[in-house]
Amino acid sequence: MHYKRFHPYRINTETRDKHADVWLNAEDFIYPYFVVDGENKQEPIATLKGIHRFSVDRLLIDLERTVLAGIDKILLFGVVEADKKNVEGSWSKHDESVVCKAIRAVKQQFPKVMVITDICLCAYTNHGHCGILNNRGDIENDLTLAKLADMALAHARAGADMVSPSAMMDGQVLAIGQALNNNGFNHVNIMGYSAKYASNFYGPFRDAAQSAPGKGNRKSYQMDFRTRHQGIDEVASDIEEGANWVMVKPAHTYLDVIARATHRFPEIPMAAYHTSGEFMMIVAAAEKNLLDEHEAMIEALTAIKRAGASYIISYYARNYSERIKY
């Protein structure tokens, strides 16, 4: 009987390295940052190991280390004080919001760092939902679009390179794109959180961003994880609306969606979000000595790239990049 021998590919480190065809580098990563008002703040986030809420001055200091690790793309999230939240999240469009301040400061000190901002109302509404609610408590998709467009415009005025709507409102990419074009910001790109599922793996993030919904859940606007084709349809629709990049989120538990979407749309850059819950599962397992955190990190992140993602948003981005250089 004839059979193929695979062991020669794996016989030692050198041959394994030679035959590997997925390599993950610092430039593949987007590093998330949480920013708060105030000065000299660097608050550890209990639910996200190694991640902090930074005031703008301290963000700039931390960024030096991130840039040194080779990372050139960041994703900014604003953490908003309770007294600035209201029913319609109006602080989100303010030029003095902490995100706008952070964009200006980062672009001034690190002009080459690509600044991407999250566009969603949940950190700015007092009810914690991602859009405007009617008096029955349901999301008003079309009323929300203008709010998201205003928020994106504020970030564009502050100098953001890319805005990234995560509210999962239908038409959000189109609405934001039109607002940017009408106001002379055609150069600002849009990354759609295209296939964003209503996931259990966002828990630690909501704690970090203080953006959990007070009542109910996000299942009426984020995707149902039992849908297979809709993920591709959502990606297709964002591309049609003019998204420059698309995203699948979560990443590690949705590798199939990444693979199918990149197979179908190979020409558009695909980002994948290794979410807070997926990250902390590895951390928690390592704390119980169930696995080696470093090895598990490499494996999980490599799997996301192997599935087809061009960019990975990850809380491990710096940890990985500081240790691994090809």
Which of Zn ion, ligand PBG, none sits in contact with 101, Cβ below 5 to 8 A by type? none
Active site residue 196: yes
Interface with ligand PBG in residues 26-45 (CB under 6 A): none
We find the least distance from the C-beta atom of residue 136 to ligand PBG, in angstroms, to be 21
We find the least distance from the C-beta atom of residue 117 to ligand PBG, in angstroms, to be 11
Alpha-carbon span 135 to 128, nearest angstrom: 15
The torsion region of residue 69 among left (phi > 0), alpha (psi -120 to 50) and beta comes to alpha
Identity of the residue, 26 or 209, whose beta carbon is nearer to Zn ion in the bound complex: 209
Interface with ligand PBG in residues 122-161 (CB under 6 A): 122, 130
Q: For residues 231 and 270, is the Cβ–Cβ distance under 8 A?
A: no
CA atoms within 13 A on the CB side of 189: 13
Which of ligand PBG, Zn ion, none sits in contact with 314, Cβ below 5 to 8 A by type? none
Identity of the residue, 143 or 183, whose beta carbon is nearer to ligand PBG in the bound complex: 143
Interface with Zn ion in residues 194-233 (CB under 5 A): none
The verdict on 270 binding Zn ion (CB under 5 A) reads no
The verdict on 316 binding ligand PBG (CB under 6 A) reads no
Interacting residue with Zn ion among 45, 119, 130, 307 (CB under 5 A): 130
Alpha helices in 11-50 (DSSP H): 13-19
Q: For residues 20 and 13, is the Cβ–Cβ distance under 8 A?
A: no
Active site residue 249: yes
x/- contact string, 108-127, with ligand PBG (CB under 6 A)? ----------x-x-x-----
Interface with ligand PBG in residues 76-115 (CB under 6 A): none
**Of residues 84, 85, 101, 249, which has the active-site annotation?**
249
We find the least distance from the C-beta atom of residue 119 to Zn ion, in angstroms, to be 9
- Count of all residues that appear for the chain in the document: 326
Burial (CB < 10 A; 0-12, 13-18, 19+), residue 16, is exposed
The verdict on 168 binding Zn ion (CB under 5 A) reads no
We find the least distance from the C-beta atom of residue 201 to ligand PBG, in angstroms, to be 6
**Of residues 18, 196, 215, 288, which has the active-site annotation?**
196
Phi/psi of residue 28, nearest 5 degrees: -80, -10
DSSP state of 69: T
We find the least distance from the C-beta atom of residue 308 to ligand PBG, in angstroms, to be 20
Q: For residues 285 and 256, is the Cβ–Cβ distance under 8 A?
A: no
Find the radius of gyration of the CA atoms of the chain: 20
Residue in the structure block whose two tokens are 């301290």: 58
Strand 29-35 with 114-119, pairing? unpaired
CA distances from 1 to 4, 9, 93, 189 (A): 10, 21, 70, 57
We find the least distance from the C-beta atom of residue 166 to Zn ion, in angstroms, to be 6
The verdict on 314 binding ligand PBG (CB under 6 A) reads no
Site residues (vs ligand PBG, CB under 6 A): 118, 120, 122, 130, 166, 202, 205-206, 218, 275-276
Active site residues: 196, 249
